[in-house]
Structure 1
Amino acid sequence: MDPNNPVVQLCGQGMQAEAQGRADEARELFHQAWAVATDDFEACVAAHYVARHQDTPEGVLHWNTVCLERADRVGDERVTGFYPSMHLNLARANEELGNADKAREHYQRAADCGDDALSGPYRDGIRYAVAKGLRSTSESEALRELLAKLCARADLTALGLLLPSYLGDLGGAQDRVALLTALQMVHAGRSLPEDEQAILGRAITEVTASAKD
Structure 2
Amino acid sequence: MDMDTGNPVVGLCTQGMQAEAEGRDTDAERLFLQAWESATGDYEACVAAHYLARHQPTPERTLHWNRESLHRADLVGDERVAAFYPSLYVSLAKAHQHLGKPDEARGSFRLAAARIGAVPPGPYADWTRVAIAEGLRATGAAVRRDADGLLSALLAGFCARGDLKALGLILPAHLADLGTEEDRVRLTTALHMVHAARWLPEDEQQLLGRAIGALAAPA
The TM-score, its normalising length taken from structure 1, stands at 0.89
CA displacement at 1:3 relative to structure 2: 4.1
Matches within 5 A, 1:37-52: 37-52=39-54
- Which residue is 2:201 aligned to? 193
- Which residue is 1:153 aligned to? 161
1:54 equivalenced with 2:56 (yes/no) = yes
Matches within 5 A, 1:160-175: 160-175=168-183
For residues 186 and 14 of structure 2, the distance between their equivalents in structure 1, rounded to whole angstroms, comes to 39
Q: Which amino acid aligns with 1:204?
A: I
- Which residue is 2:69 aligned to? 67
Unaligned residue ranges in structure 1 (runs of 5+): none
1:132 equivalenced with 2:134 (yes/no) = yes
- Which residue is 1:95 aligned to? 97
CA displacement at 1:148 relative to structure 2: 0.6
For residues 42 and 22 of structure 1, the distance between their equivalents in structure 2, rounded to whole angstroms, comes to 23
Partner secondary structure for residue 37 of structure 2: helix
- CA deviations 1:167-198 (Å, max 9, x no partner) are 22111011112212222332333332232233
Q: Which amino acid aligns with 1:202?
A: R
Q: Which amino acid aligns with 1:154?
A: G
Matches within 5 A, 1:2-41: 2-41=4-43
CA displacement at 1:22 relative to structure 2: 1.2
- Which residue is 1:122 aligned to? 124
Distance 1:165 1:9, change over 3 A: closer
Q: Which stretch shows the higher mean deviation, 30-39 or 132-141? A: 132-141
1:204 equivalenced with 2:212 (yes/no) = yes
- Which residue is 2:150 aligned to? 142
Q: Which stretch shows the higher mean deviation, 45-54 or 113-122? A: 113-122
- CA deviations 1:4-38 (Å, max 9, x no partner) are 53322322222222222211111011112112222
For residues 128 and 80 of structure 2, the distance between their equivalents in structure 1, rounded to whole angstroms, comes to 19
Distance 1:91 1:208, change over 3 A: farther
Distance 1:148 1:114, change over 3 A: same
- TM-align CA RMSD: 1.9
Distance 1:22 1:174, change over 3 A: same
Partner secondary structure for residue 81 of structure 2: helix
For residues 186 and 4 of structure 1, the distance between their equivalents in structure 2, rounded to whole angstroms, comes to 46
Distance 1:186 1:95, change over 3 A: same
For residues 28 and 157 of structure 1, the distance between their equivalents in structure 2, rounded to whole angstroms, comes to 45
For residues 144 and 30 of structure 1, the distance between their equivalents in structure 2, rounded to whole angstroms, comes to 39
What is the total number of aligned residue pairs between the two structures?
211
